[in-house]
């Protein structure tokens, strides 16, 4: 375990991972137990900055540097003190919004990435809008106030992290419910409806994320602020003059945190090449010195160089320049740097060339280490040994594909299992019903865990879905989902057909692939209608909706709208929420995008209810749900 380079920041002696809480664009959140030198243990959340390829490429294009929070020690220490400073500023203003307290930073050598640890906050995201409650609107209002305050203090990057115009920023705050503490005794004319009464829940807001993943180019306000400071791309920028003016006259430890934040942020920005940031400082001597110092420290921390080479690079500028140029070589630049900079690596390289026994042993260790890493990521199976050819194939796939697609391409057993399940869903009524029931219950549990449904409503939905009348539609939904697994293949056929059509082929080459999935859904719907012909189960709406691209997967859900409105409405909301969670860039869990999609479906359902001939029956389920909510 690497240690922090800032003496004022305590570092645990041991860290044990408990589980993974989630993955974002730039980091993964892991729940850990940190053991300190005095023997105490603290459960906290570590933010491991190991971004994906797209995030790294965007950052390198904008600043000509590796992702800062992963590689730059000044950047990670700036994030530590930024949280402290923002927490102090909000406390001084009495805003009532907390910031997850930073605990330590460390360098994770196995993953070659910096880690920021903060206190573990037990909370939740905003509950989706209902007829009698709306948590998103007050949250957005509070975030607008926070944004204006932070920007007014010069904390531009922190303002971006809580800006409602960044649609995913609502996930950066957690809501913690606790009973109100204000008592009512009726002796001072106090109205019972005012304040927090015993038993009534009070919501506290905590900011859990103040570190950006991509430049803040999606909101014009931050582009203008960055341009005023001489930078084209904004990324967690700080107006140090404005911040220091706001804290003028303040003394003590918090003021020291402000000074450290300014120092580390300035050093971070100056130790990146960043051709689009302050061009008038490109050739300044102090910036060159800071950049050289940072690069040497980074190479030493990553064990690219040993102590002897480090001493030589510190004292000889030309030697440092030559070593830096070696790193610019494509593909093998880092490897050549390690060979030149470390005596241990040079000895190992010599033994690899001359000693065949050592070479075989080293290759086995390398294969074992890489395979174990792939297994932890879910890229390969834990129960199958790899040949040398398969190992090299997986090395290429690990660079090109995500873990999910890598596993699907590389694991023949998984592909066979998927084919068997898809065939069983298409042919077996038992598998169809079981698959639909499992997916439905999983969705209900997810909504219950997020408090979007109360327990009684969830139980009623499960009972409604298990009714015999839903069985025909449930099996149809399962078959449509099995057909949807062909989407990647059909997408490739669409691209190929369009290319063939544009190169002079028939227009049918481009049109035919778009008819594959609707045609298969129509066949499945016709088969379902024929199998249930004696029950006179309606299928007309499913036949019409099934031919529509993308929306056709919800054909049976829409068909149930009249006969089983509660189940149908829940599935429509869940489908809308899934789209909002997986929408690129603007989507995510607890984002405004997810809530907007769910609210849009709610509005559409109300419109249909108004004009439906059976609107009284459709409204009944909503009245029952509302009564359960009021009782809860």
- Residue 96's pLDDT is what? 86
Q: Which residue, among 303, 273, 275, has the nearest Cα to 290 in the 3D structure?
A: 273
Q: Around Cβ 23, how many Cβ atoms within 10 Å?
A: 13
Q: What is the DSSP letter of 305?
A: S
Higher pLDDT, 612 or 384: 384
User: Can you give the pTM of this predicted structure?
Assistant: 0.85
Q: Which residues contact 343 (CB under 8 A, 6 or more apart)?
A: 306, 308
State pLDDT tens for residues 296-310. 999 999 999 999 999
Alpha-carbon gap, residue 268 to 236, rounded angstroms = 11
Residue 331's pLDDT is what?
A: 81
Provide the pLDDT confidence category of residue 421 given band limits of 50, 70 and 90.
confident
Structure confidence at residue 613 (pLDDT)? 56
pLDDT for residue 482 = 86
Strand order in the sheet with 173-179: 98-99, 201-207, 173-179
pLDDT higher than threshold 90 for residue 191: no
Q: What average pLDDT does the chain have? A: 87
Strand partners, 19: 31
List pLDDT tens digits, range 343-359: 999 999 999 889 889 98
| Residue extents of the structural domains in the chain | 355-410, 416-631
Backbone φ and ψ of 143, nearest 5°? -65, -35
5 pLDDT more than 70: no
**CB neighbour list of residue 142: distance below 8 Å, 6 or more residues apart:** 97, 205
Q: What's the average model confidence in pLDDT over 549-565?
A: 89
- Residue 100 contacts by C-beta under 8 Å, 6 or more apart in sequence? 45, 83, 118, 119, 121, 206, 207, 208
Distance of alpha carbon 406 from alpha carbon 379, whole angstroms: 6
Query: Is residue 475 within 8 Å of 429, Cβ to Cβ?
Result: yes
- Give the model's pLDDT for residue 612: 67
Query: Are β-strands 41-48 and 201-207 bridged in parallel, bridged antiparallel, or unpaired?
Result: unpaired
pLDDT per position as a tens digit, 264-302: 999 999 999 999 998 888 878 889 899 999 999 999 999
Residue 65: partners with Cβ closer than 8 Å, 6 or more residues away:
59, 71, 72, 272, 273, 274
Q: What is the mean pLDDT of residues 143-151?
A: 94
**Contact yes or no for 557/572 (Cβ under 8 A):** yes
Residue 397 has pLDDT above 70, yes or no: yes
Tell me the pLDDT tens digit for each residue of 97-124.
999 999 999 999 888 999 999 999 999 9
Nearest of 296, 291, 293 to residue 341 by alpha carbon:
296
- Of 16, 19, 63, the residue nearest 41 (C-alpha): 16
Q: What pLDDT, in 10s, does the model give residues 128-145?
A: 988 778 889 999 999 999
Q: CA–CA distance from 60 to each of 213, 272, 336, 554 (Å)?
A: 12, 10, 21, 41
Question: Quick one: which of 274, 312, 276 has its CA closest to 296?
Answer: 312
For the residues 183-195, what does the mean pLDDT come to?
43
pLDDT tens per residue, range 56-92: 999 999 999 999 999 999 999 999 999 999 999 999 8
What are 265's two structure tokens? 């942020």
The H-or-E segment that residue 339 falls in is helix 333-341
Residue 533 burial by CB count (10 A; 0-12/13-18/19+): exposed, middle or buried? exposed
* pLDDT, tens digit (0-9, with 9 covering 90-100), for 480-501: 988 888 888 888 888 888 888 8
């Amino acid at each position: 375990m690497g240690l922090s380079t800032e003496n004022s920041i305590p570092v645990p002696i041991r860290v044990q991972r408990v589980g993974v809480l989630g993955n974002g664009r730039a980091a993964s959140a892991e729940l850990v137990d940190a053991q300190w030198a005095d023997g105490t243990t603290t459960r906290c959340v570590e933010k491991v900055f190991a971004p994906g390829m797209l995030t790294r490429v965007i950052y390198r294009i904008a600043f000509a540097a590796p992702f800062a929070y992963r590689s730059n020690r000044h950047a990670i220490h700036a994030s530590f003190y930024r949280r402290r400073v923002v927490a102090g500023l909000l406390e001084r203003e009495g805003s009532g919004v907390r910031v997850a307290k930073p605990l330590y930073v460390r360098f994770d050598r196995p993953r070659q990435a910096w880690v920021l640890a903060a206190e573990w906050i037990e909370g939740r995201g905003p509950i989706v809008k209902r007829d009698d409650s709306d948590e998103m609107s007050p949250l957005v209002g509070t975030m607008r106030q926070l944004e204006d305050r932070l920007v007014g203090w010069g904390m531009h990057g922190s303002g971006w992290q809580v800006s409602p115009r960044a649609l995913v920023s609502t996930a950066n705050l957690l809501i913690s419910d606790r009973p109100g503490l204000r008592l009512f005794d009726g002796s001072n004319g106090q109205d019972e409806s005012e304040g927090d009464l015993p038993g009534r829940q009070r919501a506290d807001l905590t900011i859990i994320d103040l570190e950006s993943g991509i430049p803040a180019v999606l909101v014009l306000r931050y582009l203008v602020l960055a341009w005023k400071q001489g930078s084209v791309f904004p990324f967690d920028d700080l107006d140090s003059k404005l911040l220091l003016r706001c804290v003028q006259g303040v003394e003590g430890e918090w003021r020291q945190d402000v000074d450290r934040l300014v120092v580390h942020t300035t050093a971070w920005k100056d130790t990146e090449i960043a051709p689009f940031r302050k061009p008038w400082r490109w050739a300044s001597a102090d910036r060159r010195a800071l950049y050289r110092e940072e690069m040497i420290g980074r190479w030493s921390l990553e064990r690219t160089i040993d102590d002897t080479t480090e001493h030589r690079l510190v004292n000889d500028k030309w030697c440092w320049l030559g070593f830096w140029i070696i790193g610019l070589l494509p593909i093998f630049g880092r490897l050549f740097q390690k060979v030149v900079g470390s005596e241990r690596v040079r000895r190992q390289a010599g033994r690899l060339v001359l000693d065949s026994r050592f070479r075989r042993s080293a290759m086995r260790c390398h294969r074992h280490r890489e395979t174990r890493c792939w297994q932890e990521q879910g890229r390969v199976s834990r129960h199958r040994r790899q040949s040398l050819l398969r190992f090299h194939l997986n090395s290429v796939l690990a660079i090109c594909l995500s873990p999910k697609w890598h596993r699907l391409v590389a694991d023949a057993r998984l592909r066979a299992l998927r084919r068997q399940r898809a065939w069983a869903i298409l042919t077996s009524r038992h598998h169809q019903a079981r698959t639909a029931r499992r997916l439905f219950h999983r969705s209900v549990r997810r909504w219950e865990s997020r408090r979007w449904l109360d327990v009684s409503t969830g139980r009623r939905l499960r009972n409604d879905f298990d009714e015999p009348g839903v069985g025909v539609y449930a099996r149809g939904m399962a078959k449509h989902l099995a057909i949807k697994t062909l989407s990647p293949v059909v997408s490739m056929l669409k691209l190929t057909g369009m290319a063939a059509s544009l190169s002079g082929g028939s227009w049918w080459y481009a049109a035919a692939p778009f008819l594959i999935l609707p045609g298969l859904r129509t066949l499945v719907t016709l088969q379902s209608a024929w199998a249930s012909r004696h029950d006179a189960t309606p299928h007309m709406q499913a036949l019409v909706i099934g031919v529509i691209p993308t929306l056709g997967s919800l054909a049976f859900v829409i068909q149930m709208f009249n006969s089983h409105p509660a189940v149908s409405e829940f599935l429509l909301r869940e489908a809308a929420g899934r789209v909002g969670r997986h929408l690129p860039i603007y989507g995510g869990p607890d984002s405004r995008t997810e809530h907007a999609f769910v609210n849009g479906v709610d509005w559409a359902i109300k419109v249909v209810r108004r004009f439906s001939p059976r609107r009284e029956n459709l409204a009944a389920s909503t009245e029952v749900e509302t009564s359960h909510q009021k009782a809860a």
